[in-house]
Amino acid sequence: MRLVLVGAPASGKGTQANVLSEKFGVPKISTGDMLREARKAGTKLGREAEGYMNAGKLVPDEVVIGLVDERLEQPDAAKGFILDGFPRTVAQAEALAGLLERRGVTLDAVVQLDVDRELLMERATLRRTDKRTGQIYHLKYNPPPPDADLDHRADDREETVAARLDQYDAMTAALLPHYEQQGLLRRIDGVGAPEQVTERLLAALGQKVG
């Protein structure tokens, strides 16, 4: 299974990528996670990316393309992968096609999770992570226990989320037609319980649910 998941910030694509990764036994490759790790570790790359990330801007194409190229070299990616948050631009999509061609493989599908903007805004601004367990909560729909040690992602604050959503709209305006032309694009409704969304995803991929 070689899949790209496309979805706005807080659309649930990270959650769905985890579920699919487990189901198909292939790694989830998230450029956002890799960049956050690099930033936390304080590497040169992390320091370079930090300013862009905190402002909700895209990290330059060559940086993320290099990260994905290296990650695809790992043995666990030989069977397939779920790409989460990459590609985000047509230039990245073209670079990805080149990286896959070099390895003699192709994408199976590109799935877009569709969620309207108002709900995305609410999901992101009320999203909190427990620093100790990594568990993700929502202050309204999935409240954390009283003893959780909560973190609010710097880029989940209202002004930054608005900038990230604007940028997502601009990005998909070019990226989705690119994949539609290739016959790879599937759009699914991303509103509902995570399990419901997983069912729709598997149906869109022509997989048996369950």
Could you list the active site residues? Answer: 13, 88, 127, 153, 164
Least separation in angstroms between residue 155's CB and ligand AMP is 6
Q: Which of 86, 55, 84, 12 is nearest to 161 (CA)?
A: 55
Interacting residues of 38 by C-beta distance below 8 A, sequence separation 6+? 45, 46, 49
Residues 81-120 that bind ligand AMP (CB under 6 A): 85-86, 88, 92
**Residue from the set 5, 6, 59, 72 that interacts with ligand AMP by CB under 6 A:** 59
Is the Cβ–Cβ distance between 71 and 29 less than 8 Å?
A: yes
**Residue from the set 64, 113, 161, 165 that interacts with ligand AMP by CB under 6 A:** 64
Q: Which of 164, 206, 160, 159 is nearest to 13 (CA)?
A: 164
Please work out the total of residues on this chain that contact ligand AMP, with binding judged by CB under 6 A.
17
Residue nearest to ligand AMP (CB): 32
Cα–Cα dist 19/188, whole Å: 16
The total number of residues shown for the chain amounts to 210
Q: Is 56 in the site for ligand AMP (CB under 6 A)?
A: yes
Q: Is 164 in the site for ligand AMP (CB under 6 A)?
A: yes
Interaction site with ligand AMP (CB under 6 A): 9, 31-32, 35, 52-53, 56-59, 64, 85-86, 88, 92, 155, 164
